[in-house]
Structure 1
């Protein structure tokens, strides 16, 4: 989804944090559009120092899934009325696989629309929680193999909303190039081995990334990379304390992070070391 004018350069985003409790105002440098599972912005705040940071806002209003427009799954634009309607059905039993747009469905169209809006809200909430849990579990990798998580909070929206919007603020990786665009000859065997060791370690640490793709691996500095960074854990999973080995193995098979990483490196013509 393309950036809304409310996220254009020069506009402000205000976040209420809890630990410590404060109100933080950031000025947007630029959005990372199109948006997918979160609104992603490069922004600055004097309270956080001179360097830019990344702000991720988990707002169902801008989910890319709203734009899917196929038979039995029309695009579903956001409205405040629909967002308010979710509260009335929030405690009702719900499962995504029962959502469809069958014209013979006896439920009224407004009920189906509210159920879809509930799904979008649940998806945004899950993405925020997955990101936070993954960064907590991988905290010793922050600042090296993954960005530093600086703070979490809720956004004070610029217009009327019927829900709280969760957000994270994290380290911005400057002068970076994604795996999609990095020249293969600048990725040294040592850097490639480091990347594979990091991704392989996710499973041992109880984390599935779940979205290893060209854009979620960054190399910096771009001309002669010395650091590789894996970003965006919003589609991932973290092993729960009561999750048994069989259930966790299903998560690992679903995510398949290590295989995906090696496959992408091979497709880019980067030699994959044995690690």
Structure 2
């Protein structure tokens, strides 16, 4: 089950160097989990769907519809799922809105993952793959038949990443395990540590799991992939204030961030430990950040700042 199309590509630089990469495309037409309407049941992409979408775009209905989706996402607890529109009485209009919502989702995934990789620039090539380029593909079929202002709705965005030759951490349990589990324990520990490093840079991964960890076959070092579904610290804080969380006098946005982020390392480490223990009876020892100390440190520093500011305040005369 995939959200995006992933292609193994090769290209030559201007200097003649051959580069192998992975092209990840955010294409509404593909991606089984992206088009899910029921559990593990994707809605097929058909000519009828495309015709409905083209008509919808051609009539200039996309800007207003995208504005509607954004408004809903700001006011509703859960975002609108594309499959909801398949229940509309007007089948053609429902198909058009289904495809339009998927297009909007793809753009948001692209922008989210691009922002995440930019923020993780110092970790690229170490804990996450290197991002080599942004990509935008235009369909040749529609190139001469659509208005210029409608063209972006048919473009496919993507990112070109370095290729990691190795294996998926989530697939380790499916094959023969090494007799010495210490190497595997080190890989799992490094992956959990990588998740924490990402958290330290203001990113919480909404889809953090062993399946999103690729291990380099030569160095045995993990890389976390699939950053299309992330929460960014500043956006979370902004939303928390909009929701009035600050009305609780004991509430602290920095503490709240770390209370939510602590699930990421365990989503990799704890899951893998459980799986390996079921197969071997051996419980691997994975260590996690001391979140109590992180939070205590935040409160301690803020108390020190408040005390210093209090000392510097002008004294009231009696």
Q: TM-score, normalised by structure 2?
A: 0.63
Match of 1:239 among 233, 237, 241: 233
SS at match of 2:223: strand
CA distance in 1, matches of 2:104, 2:209: 24
Higher strand share: 1
Aligned to 2:100: 118
Aligned to 1:259: 266
Match of 2:206 among 191, 207, 210: 210
The alpha-carbon distance between structure 1 residues 241 and 180, as it changes in their structure 2 partners (threshold 3 A), is: closer
Is the Cα–Cα contact under 8 Å of residues 86 and 94 in structure 2 kept in the other structure? no
Is the Cα–Cα contact under 8 Å of residues 60 and 120 in structure 1 kept in the other structure? yes
CA distance in 2, matches of 1:70, 1:52: 36
Q: Does 1:180 align with 2:170?
A: yes
Is the Cα–Cα contact under 8 Å of residues 13 and 19 in structure 2 kept in the other structure? no
CA distance in 1, matches of 2:225, 2:258: 19
Deviation at 1:254, TM superposition (A): 8.7
Higher relative contact order (CA 8 A, sep 6+): 1
The alpha-carbon distance between structure 1 residues 139 and 50, as it changes in their structure 2 partners (threshold 3 A), is: same
Query: How large is the RMSD of aligned CA atoms in angstroms?
Result: 3.3
Aligned residues: 235
Aligned ranges 1:46-61 → 2 under 5 Å: 46-47=12-13, 49-61=17-29
CA distance in 2, matches of 1:197, 1:66: 29
Deviation at 1:41, TM superposition (A): 0.4
Aligned to 2:5: 39
* Structure 1 residue ranges without an equivalent (≥5): 1-33
Aligned to 2:134: 152
Q: TM-score, normalised by structure 1?
A: 0.72
Higher helix share: 2
Deviation at 1:252, TM superposition (A): 7.0
CA distance in 1, matches of 2:116, 2:42: 33
